[in-house]
Chain A
Amino acid sequence: MKYKVPTTVDVMKTTFCSGCGQGVVNRLIGEIMEELGTAEKLVVTTDVACGAMNVDFWNFDTIVGAHGRPLPTATAVKKVRPDCLSLAHLGDGAAYNIGMAETMHAAIRDDDVFALVLNNCVFAMTGGQTSATTMLGQKTKSSIQGRKVEVEGKPFHIENALSGMDIAYLARGSIESVPSIRKTKQYLKTAFEKHKNNEGFVLVEILTPCPTNWGMTPVESMKRIKEEVMVEYPVGEFINRGGGK
């Protein structure tokens, strides 16, 4: 098999921390856009945090949305330009904390929009505070003794919240190993195909590392995803309306 670097993302120019997961996800988006022939149709709405830096690395039209609100913004883009693909690029804090209402109602309306959630179990840009997906016992800047059930509740699972909802697609992938990255690419590609066909709301969550705020090396972070995070948050397809490949 012949590999080539996608031209739609600049994989050399990056300002992310060492070991950040954004670069891998960016490359997957670029590869899929080129494989589907949709690169010239994609509009991405980012959130305000680390993900907003991507506007400098993507050769896509972009909107920097307000914190937690990229989904309504991306929904409206799709409504007025139905021939575009409209991706909302979110973190766990944006999708599941401040933007939970937006996430739920995009799903309830089954909006033609793609929600991509990079879940690193922490508010990263602000220096590492507890988010809805922070693991029990995980120490953050706003839970210095570790997340406790009696204080912050249990970690949030999107597959439970959207269980039984009439949406086009819901999956979770990981990028801690090459096999996981390949699997994640399949989920993303299925989701992009469904979105391209205007099949309704698609959400793909990807477990990503944040070595800076986890206080770990990049290698230790990948090990943590495999041994801890993927145990709490299983990967796989949860909703796939109409089947598909």
Chain B
Amino acid sequence: MEFLGITLPSYSWSTIAGSAISGIFLGSIYALVALGLTLIYGVLHIINFAHGALLMLAMYAVYFLWATFGIDPYLAMLIVVPGGFFFGYGLQRFVIGKASHGRDEIILLVTLGVAIVIENAALFFFSATERSVRVPYDLDGIDLGVTWAVYPELAALGGSFLITLALWVFMSRTDTGKAIRAVAKERQGAQLMGINVEHIFAVTFGIGVACVAAAASLLVPTYAVHPQIGSLFVLIAFTVVVLGGMGSFVGALVGGFLIGITEQLGRLYLGESLGVITISVIFILVLLFRPTGLFGVQS
């Protein structure tokens, strides 16, 4: 088989199916990272360059809870998710919000600065050493016939669906969710209706960081933690958010799967290095035919 003049290798259907399934697992990780981002980036239009650094920080928190107190990474969610919310709330309310004076271009630089500070602080305090969590169920899982699905991967997949559902319910059914949407659509109008815009901004940022903290708990059993780990996922997460449609949680989930499957099949046929260009190809194609992304709506 040939594609653009390149002779592609041929694989059995089980290998192709296994690769596509592995794309779903990889996509669930992208979706997990993208869900918090789509809330902050998609709803509030804050390009949060600190997202990767916050993911890394949350992963360290999960790791240290395991290493110090023996708390399972999934149980650690009960601590790091509320912790992430309050950290994010404080970060937006007292650092990003105050330093940016409401100007988008300054917000961008402030989040970049926060990312640099967090990454270098992590390097200073935690060193460059990668730290891995060992869980007893690391190798247990289900034989899907074409590939093995271990429990940490299934947990990440399930987690991505649950967080998407929780965010959707929160945004559509709660007063705070409605307030967030109101602020996103018409900030001044929302203020005139008595909504505390500063508070809503901080709450939204806090929820975004809480999502990242949940993602961290689901990632730690598979990935080693180090100061650069966030950058491995966050660039693709930005792509997922735009591809899925800004502010759409379902878009982030579907976009994550689409990117994951595309990447894995691309790597299977074009090689591990060249295969990643398929992410950019699918991204450009989707935006050419649907500029608002898969689930985005025209503002």
Chain A bound to chain B: no
